[in-house]
Structure 1
Amino acid sequence: MLNVTNVIKNSYLVTTICALSPILIPSVGLFILVKVMKTFQKEHETLETLSVYEKRPGQAQRFLARVNKNFRWPTSMPEYIRRGTFMDITDNDDEEFGLEVGLNYLFFYNALDNGEFAEHKNEWVTVHKQRAVQYGQMYDDDSLSYILEVMPGAVQLPVDQTKLPRNPPAKMVTVQRVNNGNDYKVRVRVRRPSDGSIVLLPYDFYDVQYNNKLYSCVVDTGAPQTILPYYIRRTLGGKWGWSTHYKIAEGYGAPAVQYSACRMFDVSIGDNNNWTKWVQAKITVWENEPGDQVEYALVGNDVTDQLAYIQYMSREIHLNSWILEMNLDLLHFRILVVKLTY
């Protein structure tokens, strides 16, 4: 039962300290205030409170077994990053790597809560093995790829949280369905350039490892980036070429978590008979178990624009070749006329 007397006393104590803290020694006043405020906070996460992040039974228990017993989410950690951290720490596909990434996120946000980055407000912090190892500007993709090779599982995050990486929003704009309703679908191939490994997605892909989740593969002119099932990353290897940034879907698929490549992959689309040429793109994948709001694997403009350009150039080359042949034929004809004349 709620003890009204204690609530009144605690409220009075907080009010008194807030009023007196400016005239107290600042560090002492702040320390006391934090201590008092913590009495109103939840002590730690439980199986029940963590169940909101579960996609499968037992994940919350696995999470608590891999973090400290009295775990509590950092206050400054955004909700979608909590979900990404939970997924990585409970990941069984690559347990060691996922745990390293998740723990590095927790370290960063706990340190952010504690004011440890106060002197680096405009910088990005690189965290590896739960230590801040570098401060500076945001890595470009090439630098990030190198860092992740020498420090697997490292994360780089901005102290200014308004600068968190984001993907451009996707809008579903598929062509109108005709005939049997499948004409807007495509098959997709993804190839890792480093070793030539290829993964193929049929028109309708069922991820058997995750409850037969269905993804229909479509060309989407409203998607700036190609977004494919997590199966692509899992099959080609979750470390090589992938950023450790969690990003939240905006537009189609929100609020699913997304992972983006920091290296180029080769992509080709086709039907039952033919495939396009390979083009390069830094693809994105959905989280391994997105909600029912995600029904599609999207082939975006980053791929289709290149294919259109290749087709245009192919036509130009074909036309130029035809013109060249015509000019050569005309030249041969003129030479023949000259010979006959003389």
Structure 2
Amino acid sequence: MIKSKEGILKVPSILSSVVSQNGDNCIITLSHKQAKIVAVVAVILFVAALVLSIWGIARQAEIVQLRQQTQLQTEQLKLLQQKTEVLDKKIQNLNQISEENKQMLKGAESGTPSQGGSDGSDPKQEAASDETSPTLSAAQLSARLSKLDKDAQKLLVSFYTMRNILRDGGAQDIAALQQLNYTTGSGGYTNSTTPSIWPSKGVITSPYGTRVDPVTGAASAFHEGVDIADDYGTPIVATAAGTVTFAGYTEGGYGNLVEIDHGNGFVTRYGHNSAVLVTPGMTVKQGQVIALMGSTGKSTGAHVHYEVRINGSAVDPMVFLPISN
């Protein structure tokens, strides 16, 4: 037993040989062998604590990795859903425009557009070969959706161009279809005067259609284009060849605006630019830089407001944009 100011402290018999009292002080005396044992136990405890710490860190890293993998898979599924929705919209437009073309062609004079570049491939066979397997990864499925989207877009651009030529020129002007360039293996007519590329890199922050106005807060505002956001000063390119009909500042909310007439009823608009690099009357090529991204006019941040108009009416630009930007 050891006496203290607080009372008497009972010491276990196993420690009685190493614990002694000197006045109010408690002294622990260890032999060389006992000191070694204590040191070994301390080392074992330290190593055990270190191992547990390393295991905990590794476990935490594994959990973080699993979370990142889950987030990546979620984002891939979300992207696949978006691609599917865009592709479905394009297919719906294909069906509609195809039917309109058929009706207009019924009244056309004899003669059909040349398809001299066709490679004779069977779309049904290609579609069959593209059937997806349940074992496909999200990345493989995404790649196949992108391929289908490209094919659908080429057909859609072809149908829109054909329809506008038939509508504007009438049945007697069907020969104008010969001016279209049928690319071998493309599955449709292509024309650089039909919008078919992205106006800039970036992400869509506001789609076409009814939305809450980001500036006024109006709940029923109709957005006649898509907003693509990226860094201030990002190059803006013409999505098709044509003639610049407007280039400058407008009070209509567009800020610095570029408008291009592509012929056959197609007009595109690019708004909120920080700088305009073209002038009215200038002829531009598809992919040519026409402006720099900014936030002029009715805008809350750097982006380009991109519109596609057909015969004066705004249409959803997503129909003409490839899935991948």
> TM-score when scaled to structure 1?
0.22
Higher relative contact order (CA 8 A, sep 6+): 2
> TM-score when scaled to structure 2?
0.23
